[in-house]
Amino acid sequence: MSRSVSVEPELPEDADAAGTHDGIDDRATITPYRDGPLIVRGNFRLVDQDGNEIDPGRQTIALCRCGKSGIKPFCDGAHKRSGFSAPSAPSRPRPAARILREAREPAGEG
């Protein structure tokens, strides 16, 4: 079963331009926008946690990461009104990433 969303999700103005896929590499790219949504481009499937398809309605979508959208999982621009703030890049490495990196590069080697 698939669901469709009738409300038009909001995309940042440069969402289609930044990281535009030129047909050479159509893998999904997920970009956390500064103070905004997760922009998903490329070849992706959107499913709910039960595995049901969610019709994205377009090839580039904005997924809410502020929690304020009225059309979750899509962004509706509510992050602007709520003053949501988050960097684009990670503010610090995930602890698991450090542990994995140290396991691959034991101290004293190199």
Tell me which residues touch ligand FES (CB under 6 A).
Answer: 36-37, 64-66, 68-69, 75-79
CA nearest to 94, candidates 106, 84, 85, 102: 102
Shortest distance, position 79 Cβ to ligand FES, whole Å = 3
21 or 65, CB closer to ligand FES?
A: 65
Preceding amide of 73 cis, omega within 30: yes
Shortest distance, position 95 Cβ to ligand FES, whole Å = 25
Shortest distance, position 34 Cβ to ligand FES, whole Å = 11
Is the C-alpha dihedral spanning 72, 69, 31, 104 positive or negative? negative
